[in-house]
Amino acid sequence: MESLEVIMSCVREAAGTGSVEPVFRPGALTHARRLAAHLETRPDHGPARYLLGWFHWYRAQGLPEGQDEQDLDLARDFLVHHFVVDGSGELPGPLAATVALMAVPSALAHHRRTLLAPDGLSVDVAVRLWTRIVEAQEPDDSLRALCLMSLSTMLQIRARLGGGIEDVDEAVRLSREAVTLSPGPHAAAALSTLATALRDRYGFARAIGDLDEAVATGRRAIEAARPDEEDLPGYLSNLCTMLIIRHGHTPDVADLDDAIRLGRRAVALTRDDNPDLAARLSNLSLALQNRFAGTAGSAGLDEAVEAGRRSVAATPESHREWATRLSVLGTALRHRCEADGALADGDEAVRVSARALRATAENDAARATNHQNLGLALLARYQRSGDLDDAFRAADSFAAAVAAPTAPPLHRIRFAGSAAGLLALIDPSRAADILEQAVRLLPEVAPRRLVRADQQDALVAVAGLAGDAAALALDATPDQPDRCAQRALSLLESGRTILIGQLLDGRGSLHGLPPALAARFTALREALEGSRGTDPLSALLPGGPGTNDDRAGLARDMAATLAEIRAQHGFASFGLPPGLDELLPEAAHGPVVTLNVAERRSDALLLTTDGVAALPLPGLDRATLTARIEAFHAALKGTTDPDQDRPAAQAVLTGTLEWLWETVAEPVLDALGYRGAPQDGAAPPRMWWAPGGLLSLLPLHAAGRYDERGRVLRGQSVMDRVVSSYTPTIRALRHAREHRIAPAGRQSSLIVALPETPGLPGLAHVPAEVATLTSALPDPLVLTRSAGTLPTRDRVLKELPRHAIAHFACHGAHDPADPSRSRLLLHDHEQFPLTVAALAPIDLRQARLAYLSACETALNTATGLLDEAIHLASAFQAAGYSHVVGTLWAIDDETSAEMAGDFYAGMRAPGSQGLDFTTAAQALHGAVRTQRDRFPRMPSLWAAHLHVGP
């Protein structure tokens, strides 16, 4: 078209020369008017409108003030249409904000349509349009808060349609800005938008801080709302959903009772003809279900079903929440079926849940949940009807939920547990495949973006998964025992010590990377692991940066940095866990025995130079093991209680060691070919235990058979046959071996000794221990109160990098509620404890040996975190100490002092003033055995000490 070509030429020339002369040439305006008239029949021609917008903008610049208004109006009108429809291309700077403002009505109209029936395309269009508007607005634009809230809402919807956590991160950021811009009448709306964004981000990342903030912000929204505010019922209903979710973290029903109260109030304040009534009824139904499921009587569930029916009836089938409301009704019916056994409810629950699933888009994050809900409905009906077809269909539905990539990892893992539970008896091979998928998702349950407490909470929710998966793997294909054993070992290596694995994966060698890239990675790692400022050994609190927003940004930067590192030559696997093929060579130094106790079966997986073999342990079951552990630890307390029968308590310990020998240790040693004590003068072979789970609470290295006088029968104990060491996983052992770098220059030692600790009983034999150590250890620095050098946390953290050896003679304390808070009790322990979490960010490349002569330094009794091996010994090893000596329970300080002296004497390198670190395990073996031979009937004195490392 001639007019289009003329206008294009004029605009290009004006843009290229900076002169407005081309748009004033004779005939140019005529062509502009012809093109505009033509566009009345071609509303889709965005480029032409864009050119006309610039044409009239240039004309306005060349006209005297007062004569430019018509061209300015035309420029805005043409550019607004292009802005809304296309959006590409630059806008005239002075017009950008005005054009954005003029685009708001169109954006709101599209926004309302998208809310009613969103799909991926419409939501993407809405996000792009609101983004352009926000970017073009002036900071003080009166509509900016509204636009920020609208963009946040669209991002939340897109996240649920597969956009992922990046969208909700941005929604939170935008909502926070909207709150700061909304001190007046829009404050409640902005606060409620922020609360729902935080709620949704919790759904993806499981950061409890987000959920608590969502609840608090939701309450602020209600407080800020006027009593007659139209959206008040919506704020009430939103808070109702947040309280329902938070109830999952506590057995207290207060949140649910509050949710029901809010939900009922929201429904009562909503007119019957209000289109939002359906959502509020659905939320009320969920609150009632969560409150009354599993309780006696069904009155609350009757109300839940009725609210669910009303919600569905009030929702058009074209509405974006149609499937969700069907699903809520289906779960209400299932709960009532489970409560009163009515098969009619079970039938309807299946029908409604299946209909909800059919109505859910493939890329909707809710699809996995709806698969799960259908599976649960089928399972509930199967339990009443006995129809096996329902059981098989339920398993299929659970399996489909596991495979849904848009579902949060924790949900997928739970779906896997449901599926495997159904299939384990009828199809163990398929059950094993499903659980393997779940195990591979475990690292995503506790990503680096979460603070440590949230990571631990997430892992508690999936405790035992790796063990169950390994047990199923061993049953899956019994005709291929070698393959089964390798698969089981791979699952245990992948599913245990997730948090330690994150630390180790980030501590590979950076040698060969561009210095700037290596420095950026190190800074991000330290920030995520908890450092403050530039000093990686500064005082720490668990979790590092204080907000989830901070950690979200750091985690994104870390992911981008890791991708850049892996693109470098020779770094393709940097920061990734090693494969099983990389771990198999670790058996060259001696066998590694990984133990697994599951409901289905118990086994020892033997890694030797011949490969991996599974040794069934039929005498070991979880119930018996649990009872033995409880009796053992109760007896430990009795050995120091003057009101107890101490010899009887020691006898319980001895009995447990005999049971442990018969059920675990002897079968393992016999299978490895260690069938008796080495011949006189021969050094006993080395081996490593990776007990995991419950067995980590017992001293495998001390197991043995005793005679009637309480003495160990020769050759009938672990210590008679082998030198034992421990490792959380083979992966951790590999890391410790890779970091055995000889420190430059002369060895030096740090001795931290507290014979007196504020608020705690004295340790009378610590001075004698220090006297022995100062003559045994190379170049010692002693931090002790009597020496005028107070052993505070900050001083110790400052000194650790300067010494190859660190010896602690002090009190230690295990925290059963939060093992990351287990600690060494230094002089300032009441204000600044030296905890496991405080050690997490430390990376000491020259460290060699940490001897923790303190109570409970290798103990973790947190039931849901047993596979994580969170204790001081593992923390010191992760920090860089190849060899660590720790303790499983409270120790006697006199015996410990003697044992420490024997240990270092056994490590003395012939003809040298230094220590031979390669003999650490043998030296501890000898020291423990000496005490055992002195006090065979008192295992509490000598069996606690163990060696962790290569």
- pLDDT tens digits, 569-597: 888 888 877 888 888 899 999 999 999 99
* pLDDT given for residue 874 in this prediction: 92
Residue 110 has pLDDT above 70, yes or no: yes
Q: Other CB atoms closer than 10 Å to residue 584's CB: what's the count?
A: 18
Q: Pick the residue with more confidence: 531 or 580?
A: 580
Residue 779 burial class via C-beta count within 10 angstroms: exposed 0-12, middle 13-18, buried 19 and up = middle
* pLDDT given for residue 438 in this prediction: 93
In CATH, what number does 743-948 get? Answer: 3.40.50.1460
Report the DSSP beta bridge partners of residue 602. Answer: 597
- 796 neighbors 790 (Cβ within 8 angstroms): no
Residue 412 has pLDDT above 70, yes or no: yes
Q: Pick the residue with more confidence: 817 or 725?
A: 725
Q: What is the mean pLDDT of residues 346-356?
A: 96
User: What is the pTM (predicted TM-score) of this model?
Assistant: 0.83
User: β-strands 723-726, 686-690: how paired?
Assistant: parallel
Q: Pick the residue with more confidence: 664 or 47?
A: 664
Residue that has been written with the tokens 């649910």 in this structure: 256
pLDDT band at 189 (very low <50, low <70, confident <90, very high): very high
- 350 neighbors 333 (Cβ within 8 angstroms): no
Contacts 24+ apart (CB under 8 A), 226-234: 226/185, 226/188, 229/188, 231/188, 231/189, 231/192, 232/188, 232/269, 233/265, 233/266, 233/267, 233/269, 233/270, 233/276, 233/280, 234/192, 234/266, 234/276, 234/280
* pLDDT given for residue 296 in this prediction: 64
Q: What is the mean pLDDT of residues 502-523?
A: 84
Residue 464 has pLDDT above 80, yes or no: yes
- 924 neighbors 855 (Cβ within 8 angstroms): no
Two structure tokens written together for 382: 């199967």
| The CA-based dihedral angle spanning residues 702, 703, 705, 709, taken in that order and rounded to the nearest 10 degrees | 40
- 175 neighbors 148 (Cβ within 8 angstroms): yes
pLDDT band at 336 (very low <50, low <70, confident <90, very high): very high
Residue 528 has pLDDT above 90, yes or no: no
Residue that has been written with the tokens 């040298």 in this structure: 912
Cα 794 from chain centroid?
A: 29
**Which alpha helices (H) appear in 726-789, and where do they start and end?**
730-738, 766-776
d(CA 752, CA 936): 30
Query: What percent of the chain is helix, strand and coil (3-state, nearest 5)?
Result: 60, 10, 30
- 425 neighbors 438 (Cβ within 8 angstroms): no
d(CA 304, CA 335): 10
* pLDDT given for residue 540 in this prediction: 30
Two structure tokens written together for 332: 């209400």
Lowest mean pLDDT among 264-278, 775-789, 853-867: 775-789
* pLDDT given for residue 297 in this prediction: 64
> Closest Cα partner for 821 from 447, 446, 453?
453
Residue 755 has pLDDT above 70, yes or no: yes
Length in residues, the chain: 950
Query: Alpha carbon of 650 to those of 637, 928, 932, 935: distances in Å?
Result: 10, 17, 13, 11
d(CA 877, CA 735): 9
Angle, alpha carbons 808-813-817 (nearest 5°): 145
Question: What are the residue ranges of CATH 3.40.50.1460 in the chain?
Answer: 743-948
Report the DSSP beta bridge partners of residue 596. Answer: 603
For 714, the 3-state DSSP assignment is: strand
Give me the helix-helix angle, 208-224 and 452-460, nearest 10°: 110
Query: Alpha carbon of 21 to those of 55, 61, 255: distances in Å?
Result: 11, 10, 70
- 690 neighbors 730 (Cβ within 8 angstroms): yes
C-alpha neighbours within 13 Å on the C-beta side of residue 503: 26
Report the DSSP beta bridge partners of residue 809. Answer: 753, 853
Residue 557 has pLDDT above 90, yes or no: no
Task: Identify the H or E element spanning 811.
Answer: strand 811-813
* pLDDT given for residue 553 in this prediction: 82
Lowest mean pLDDT among 81-85, 234-238, 377-381, 401-405: 81-85
Q: Other CB atoms closer than 10 Å to residue 305's CB: what's the count?
A: 23
> Closest Cα partner for 549 from 92, 50, 205?
205
Task: Identify the H or E element spanning 782.
Answer: strand 780-783
d(CA 177, CA 578): 43
* pLDDT given for residue 83 in this prediction: 76
For 694-737, list the strands marked E by DSSP. 704-706, 712-717, 723-726
pLDDT band at 643 (very low <50, low <70, confident <90, very high): confident
* pLDDT given for residue 787 in this prediction: 60
Task: Identify the H or E element spanning 806.
Answer: strand 805-809
* pLDDT given for residue 665 in this prediction: 97
Two structure tokens written together for 527: 């920030």
User: β-strands 883-887, 945-948: how paired?
Assistant: antiparallel
- 416 neighbors 438 (Cβ within 8 angstroms): yes
883-904 exposure pattern, b = at least 16 Cβ within 10 A, e = fewer:
bbbbbbbbbbbebbbbbbbbbb
Q: Pick the residue with more confidence: 563 or 689?
A: 689
C-alpha neighbours within 13 Å on the C-beta side of residue 58: 26
For 110-211, list the strands marked E by DSSP. none
* pLDDT given for residue 43 in this prediction: 62
Query: Alpha carbon of 85 to those of 57, 132, 283, 362, 556: distances in Å?
Result: 19, 11, 36, 28, 32
Q: Pick the residue with more confidence: 287 or 125?
A: 287
Residue 298 has pLDDT above 80, yes or no: no
Query: Alpha carbon of 196 to those of 155, 239, 616: distances in Å?
Result: 11, 8, 50
Residue 576 burial class via C-beta count within 10 angstroms: exposed 0-12, middle 13-18, buried 19 and up = exposed
What does the mean pLDDT of the chain come to? 88
Two structure tokens written together for 193: 């938008």
Q: What is the mean pLDDT of residues 151-157?
A: 94
Q: Other CB atoms closer than 10 Å to residue 795's CB: what's the count?
A: 16
For 480, the 3-state DSSP assignment is: coil
Amino acid at 31: H
* pLDDT given for residue 406 in this prediction: 75
Angle, alpha carbons 498-501-505 (nearest 5°): 140
* pLDDT given for residue 386 in this prediction: 87
Amino acid at 200: D
